[in-house]
């Protein structure tokens, strides 16, 4: 059955080509947004586009969209929807892998440990996903405020001394930040992750890194096994030696595009799964590398985002006063590669738990 369509015309490849172009375009857009996320010029372009759209889209739709976005990204009570979506996508990928790829690979006598590796990674991933969701990221309260103030030094640039949170009315330890979604101050705040419905902070960053690592490895493993199955079919059937008729009625040797098109017609769900997990693997691998870079240099996402800002110490505006002195944030918390990793996986202060009142 999988050999059907061998002599289809080359014009039937258009759909697959457009689909691959779409996936490539989506990947490039995401990467460009990640790279230029701190660019003021890009922000100006986005704001300009939003203003143009606001002149075209009716006000009622704009209000509905703002309400929905606020509920999705600024209200923690609504965020379990992202957890459900996360688990649903993961379940669909593994269901397709089990029903299609695993069965075919088992018939082709692939190594059983290799076929079971995605399930092992899934088990570990779900454990650390749960830990990331359920663990207190480092909520600052009156009970532990004094203790956390002593953990990190203040640099008087990004984290000035004696500053207070305008919402919590608590003194802000260095490297902390108030999360608007969770409505709490978090110690060593990294970012708020909607996929786990929790902040990533001092006490759950280690779980988040392992969760991200196993998720990336699982996606990559499924991609490799799916690709290996398709390549095995091409090899054993000598499909690469076949020919097809082009639009002018001439026989052409099967090339890579034709082989992919043929496999897509024979196994559409497996090829679609392969394209999806490849893109997912690349995105997750890029984000994992970024997260590991932050861990190795003892930075948080919040600090990295603000790191290239230039801060100014305001001098009194009096006659003859010196001009403003520019100050650039410098990372004073790095203790070397192994020291930085130890701080994440073995927090420096063991008595982080809140004091009983």
Note the pLDDT tens digit of each residue in 334-356.
889 999 999 999 875 545 444 44
Question: 177 or 306: whose pLDDT is higher?
Answer: 177
Among the listed ranges 75-84, 136-145, 154-163, which one has the minimum average pLDDT value?
75-84
Q: pLDDT exceeding 90 applies to what percent of the chain? A: 36
Distance from C-alpha of 332 to C-alpha of 128, rounded to nearest angstrom: 30
- Name the pTM for this structure: 0.75
pLDDT digits (tens, 9 = 90+) for 11-62: 344 555 655 665 666 666 656 555 554 455 555 555 566 566 666 666 666 5
The pLDDT tens digits of the residues spanning 77-116 come to 445 778 888 899 899 999 999 998 998 889 888 999 999 9
Q: Among the options 133, 179, 185, 193, which is catalytic?
A: 193
| pLDDT confidence of residue 157 | 83
The answer to whether 53 is a known catalytic residue is no
How far is residue 170 CA from its own chain's centroid?
31
Please give the helix or strand (H or E) that residue 252 lies within, else none: strand 251-253
Q: Per-residue pLDDT tens for 194-247?
A: 889 999 999 999 999 999 999 999 999 999 999 999 888 877 766 555 555 555
Helices 205-236, 337-345: crossing angle, 10 deg rounding: 100
215 vs 211: CA distance, rounded Å: 6
Least confident among 71-85, 145-159, 309-323: 309-323
Q: Taking the alpha carbons of 231, 233, 235, 240 in that order, is the dihedral positive or negative? A: negative
């Amino acid at each position: 059955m999988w050999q059907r369509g061998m002599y289809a015309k080359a014009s039937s490849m258009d759909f697959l080509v457009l689909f691959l172009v779409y996936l490539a375009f989506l990947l490039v857009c995401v990467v460009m947004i990640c790279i230029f996320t701190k660019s003021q010029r890009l922000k100006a372009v986005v704001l300009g586009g939003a203003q143009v759209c606001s002149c075209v889209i009716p006000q009622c739709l704009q209000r509905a969209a703002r309400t929905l976005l606020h509920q999705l990204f600024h209200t923690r009570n609504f965020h379990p929807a992202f957890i459900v979506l996360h688990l649903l996508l993961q379940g669909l990928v593994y269901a397709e892998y089990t029903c299609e790829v695993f069965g075919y690979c088992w018939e082709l006598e692939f190594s059983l440990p290799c076929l079971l590796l995605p399930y092992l990674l899934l088990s570990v991933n779900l454990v650390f996903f749960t830990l990331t969701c359920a663990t207190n990221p480092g909520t600052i309260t009156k009970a532990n405020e004094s203790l956390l103030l002593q953990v990190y030094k203040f640099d008087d640039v990004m984290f000035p001394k004696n500053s207070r949170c305008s919402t919590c009315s608590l003194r802000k330890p260095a490297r902390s930040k108030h999360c608007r979604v969770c409505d709490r101050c978090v110690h060593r705040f990294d970012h708020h992750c909607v996929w786990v419905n929790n902040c990533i902070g001092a006490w759950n960053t280690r779980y988040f890194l392992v969760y991200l690592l196993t998720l990336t490895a699982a996606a990559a493993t499924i991609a490799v096994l799916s690709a290996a199955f398709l390549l095995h079919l091409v090899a054993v059937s000598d499909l690469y030696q076949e020919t097809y008729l082009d639009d002018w009625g001439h026989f052409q040797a099967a090339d890579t595009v034709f082989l992919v098109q043929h496999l897509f017609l024979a196994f559409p769900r497996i090829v679609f799964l392969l394209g999806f997990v490849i893109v997912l693997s690349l995105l997750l691998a890029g984000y994992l590398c970024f997260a590991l870079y932050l861990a190795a240099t003892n930075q948080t996402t919040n600090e990295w985002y603000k790191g290239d800002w230039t801060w100014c110490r305001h001098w009194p505006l009096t006659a003859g006063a010196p001009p403003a002195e520019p100050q650039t944030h410098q990372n004073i918390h790095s203790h070397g590669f192994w020291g930085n990793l130890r701080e994440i996986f073995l927090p420096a202060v063991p008595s982080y738990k809140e004091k009983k009142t």
